[in-house]
Amino acid sequence: MSSPFARTALTKATSLMRAGGSSAIPKKGGGNSLNGEPRNDLIKKVLFDAPPRPPVRLSPEDMTRHETIERAWKLVRQQQKQAQEEGLARKFEMMRKANAELEATSAQLFKHSQTKERHAVFPRQLRTLTDTPPKQIWNYRQPAAAPSPKA
């Protein structure tokens, strides 16, 4: 019937209402409110007494239109994902062939290429993509002043 979660929510609500509302001694100002705050009544009303979302009613034409749009979207997303996967597969194949060639060429170079760096981390400079660029788009660093003498 009703899930345990619904039951606890209801009991929580009623306990809140009871805690806030029913005091035998009438208070000045806010009426039946916790700490005399009428805002808490409004908050409780918005949280617990708000009417539920009405069910979506679409006419048959609107329904077919909506379904067609959704199918078109899914198709486009599928094509995009397929293209991405194909691109990755091509990259992987190139990498695999290069490594096979390296293995056949030089055992020393191959061994170094296959051993992973133990404490490798992502660089902090890997930027999260945003809608618009920052004020300073690219940092064209100046080169170091002079090479150290011990070099």
Contacts to another protein by CB under 8 A:
42-43, 46, 50-54, 56, 66, 69, 72-73, 76, 83, 87, 90-91, 93-95, 97-99, 101-102, 105-106, 108-109, 112-117, 120, 123, 125-127, 129-144
- 18 or 111: CB nearest another protein: 111
- 6 or 76: CB nearest another protein: 76
Closest distance to another protein from the beta carbon of 56 (Å): 5
CA–CA distances in Å: residue 35 to residues 19, 20, 27, 39, 40: 11, 8, 9, 10, 9
CA–CA distances in Å: residue 67 to residues 61, 64, 79: 10, 5, 18
- 5 or 140: CB nearest another protein: 140
For residue 46, give both structure tokens: 């918005």
Please state, in angstroms and rounded to a whole number, the distance separating the CA atoms of residues 83 and 34.
59
